[in-house]
């Protein structure tokens, strides 16, 4: 249960801080800026990795959980509880943001700026880079070293900074599902539910090519 509670709390913090930065940026007339939003996502993930990494691995993301399972770094029986915990935490965070900012219509919903296919490909590629980094710096149960959180947080901030204006740079089905559910905006949601897990699975295959023993062996 400690793993699942950690995933729920960590994802709550991620969605509350990350999408909260988007909401507050809109409410304040751009005080946080796009760069600030990108850094917020990266920094909160960095903090959560160091907070919960030794308990649950701090996946905070169904796509990451699926990637770890595909790489045989976690048992299949934990996949659904992990994902359920992440969704619960994310939905609670979006619900709290709705309570705090009832006038905000989107609550940080991820929406494509261009075509759906453009955002689909971007989300898959961004998650590929993210999962490739995670697989090389972390195990399923805990981070490999003190720099794991920095590496993962930096990749998220970097990708959100350059791709956020086009696709939203979600890379996380729970992060996209929760504001869509609470705000009632389900248009384009399929992009953010399908593309990240697809990118994570491709990253697992790429990792297997260069680090076969580490990427294919169980963590425990």
SS3 label, residue 103: coil
- Say how far residue 87 (Cα) sits from the centre of its chain: 11
d(CA 10, CA 14): 6
Which H helix or E strand runs over 215? helix 212-216
Q: Which of 112, 110, 113, 108 is nearest to 22 (CA)?
A: 108
pLDDT tens digits, residue range 101-142? Answer: 999 999 999 999 999 999 999 999 999 999 999 988 875 444
pLDDT tens digits, residue range 202-217? Answer: 999 998 887 765 555 4
Is 11 in contact with 89 (CB distance < 8 Å)? Answer: yes
Mean pLDDT, all residues of the chain: 91
> What pLDDT, on a 0 to 100 scale, did the predictor assign at position 140?
47
**What structural domains does the chain harbor?**
2-101+110-216 (1.20.1080.10)
d(CA 215, CA 213): 6
């Amino acid at each position: 249960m400690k793993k699942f509670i950690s995933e729920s709390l960590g994802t709550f913090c991620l969605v509350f801080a990350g999408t909260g930065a988007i909401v507050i940026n809109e409410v304040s007339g751009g005080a946080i800026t796009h760069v600030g939003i990108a850094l917020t996502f990266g920094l909160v993930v960095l903090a959560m990795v160091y907070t919960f990494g030794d308990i649950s691995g701090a996946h905070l993301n169904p796509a990451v959980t699926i990637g770890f399972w595909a790489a045989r770094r976690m048992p299949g029986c934990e996949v659904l509880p992990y994902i359920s915990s992440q969704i619960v935490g994310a939905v609670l965070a979006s619900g709290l943001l709705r309570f705090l900012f009832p006038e905000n219509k989107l609550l940080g919903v991820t929406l494509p700026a261009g075509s759906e296919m453009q955002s689909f490909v971007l989300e898959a590629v961004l998650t590929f880079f993210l999962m490739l980094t995670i697989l090389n710096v972390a195990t399923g149960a805990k981070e490999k070293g003190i720099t794991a959180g920095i590496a993962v947080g930096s990749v998220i901030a970097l990708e959100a900074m350059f791709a956020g204006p086009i696709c939203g740079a979600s890379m996380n089905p729970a992060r996209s599902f929760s504001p869509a559910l609470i705000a009632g905006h389900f248009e384009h949601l399929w992009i953010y539910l399908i593309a990240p897990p697809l990118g994570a699975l491709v990253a697992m295959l790429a990792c297997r090519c260069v680090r076969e023993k580490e990427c294919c062996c169980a963590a425990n």
